[in-house]
Amino acid sequence: MSNSQNSLHTVSVIGTGAYLPEKVVTNDDLAKVVDTNDEWIFSRTGMRERRIAREDQATSDLAAEAAKAALRDAGVSADEVDLLIVATLSPDMFFPSTACFVQEKIGAKNAYCYDLGAACSGSLFAIETAKNQIACGVVKTALVIGAEKMSTFLNWEDRGTCVLFGDGAGSVVLQATGAEHGIMKGTFGSDGSMAHLLQTPGGGSRNPMTHEMLNRKEQYLTMGGRDVYKHAVKQMTQSVQDALELNSLTSDEIKCFVAHQANARIIEAIGMRLDVMDRMFMNVEKYANTSAAALMIAVDEVVKSGDVKQGDLILLVAFGGGFTWGATVVEWTKGTA
Ligand code: UT7
């Protein structure tokens, strides 16, 4: 586990944006595809519906829409972006990076661009990476995007996984500001011994794309649901406590807790353990689990809801394949840039 150091410059989120594909797929719609029902899905996950991208939309198309919305919100033009990171586990291609496709789509011609792979924790890791580059003076403006077209990587014959995920993208713009705290210290960790519990086993160098591999359907996401659930609750609860301690804060000082939107039961378990259920944000009912996009979409909804005022503290916490996890406290400073 590593903890981030004090920033040289205070770095803030100066704009947020999100994009959700238009097509809504309800639990009842899924019951026509696999042997499932609304009662099972809702009672175990809190999900009612999810968005599914069009066939002609790739992850970079979703990402570009979220990025444009975040840049508009920040009042920053695309050519001012110095660093563009896309967190995703469903890239357009293995290479070049989805970030390079987004650069071309939005006209961020002065940015250097790369993807970051940390599954559902990806956008939190990307925020930390971008923050530190701004704090050290490497770049001035960073665009961080979490984007997923999960629907392409799901086995639509496996009811245990296909009902749990959705497509979407969210984005934040970061710059140094005169704010007091901005993005505060974060705590991050990984445990590769748990990699087998949540993965896409086929298609890479370990298990290349062959007819046999495709027949075994190993190009799709697999998950040990119960184990993932237990680790997600334990680790996200611990990460929240670590982030509070690192910043000498108590939970009472946090306006809103934004956890990775994997499952309402997971979010409720964390909220109950920490006695902060009244401030746990949730939108998993509408979008299901959008992996690296989930935290970014949630942040956009939280700040646009009007409930968060300048100076309020938001705690972001994530958990995902790898395993990977982390938590960061963000002082909402929009308006002080
Ligand atoms: O971003 C992080 C990634 N993912 C997560 O955080 C997910 C973590 N895990 C979970 O949220 C839960 O483990 C699930 C919601 C995935 C599953 O809930 P569960 O209570 O652990 O169910 P289960 O997998 O143990 O399955 C229980 C039963 C099984 O039937 P039998 O063997 O008991 O007869 C499954 O076959 O439910 C059955 N089942 C379904 N039934 C109806 C599994 N999927 C479905 C389905 N509809 N979609």
pLDDT at residue 280 greater than cutoff 80: yes
The mean pLDDT of 46-59, rounded to a whole number, is 98
Q: Alpha-carbon distance 70 to 172, whole Å?
A: 6
Nearest 10 degrees: Cα torsion 49, 50, 54, 60: 170
In degrees, rounded to 5, the angle at the alpha carbon of residue 190 between the alpha carbons of residues 201 and 94 is 40
Pocket perturbation via mutation, ligand 1, pick of 90, 223, 229, 317 by most ligand atoms within 8 A of CB: 229
List, chain by chain if needed, residues with CB within 6 Å of any ligand 1 atom: 36, 40-41, 44-45, 120, 159-160, 163-164, 198, 223, 225-226, 228-229, 232, 262-263, 266, 289, 320
249: its two tokens: 């804060």
Percent of the chain with pLDDT over 90: 94
pLDDT at residue 53 greater than cutoff 50: yes
Distances (CA, A) of 59 to 8, 18, 25, 30, 177: 34, 13, 18, 22, 31
CB atoms within 10 A of CB 82: 19
Amino acid (one-letter) located at 189: G
Instruction: Tell me which of 113, 120, 162, 256 is the catalytic residue.
Output: 120
Q: Please answer whether residues 331 and 179 qualify as being in contact, where contact means their C-beta atoms are separated by less than 8 angstroms.
A: yes
Pocket perturbation via mutation, ligand 1, pick of 26, 30, 44, 148 by most ligand atoms within 8 A of CB: 44
pLDDT at residue 204 greater than cutoff 90: yes
Q: What is the pLDDT of residues 137-148, one digit of tens each?
A: 999 999 999 999
Find the 229 Cα to ligand 1 centroid distance in Å.
10
Q: Please answer whether residues 150 and 122 qualify as being in contact, where contact means their C-beta atoms are separated by less than 8 angstroms.
A: no
DSSP 275: T
Q: pTM value?
A: 0.96
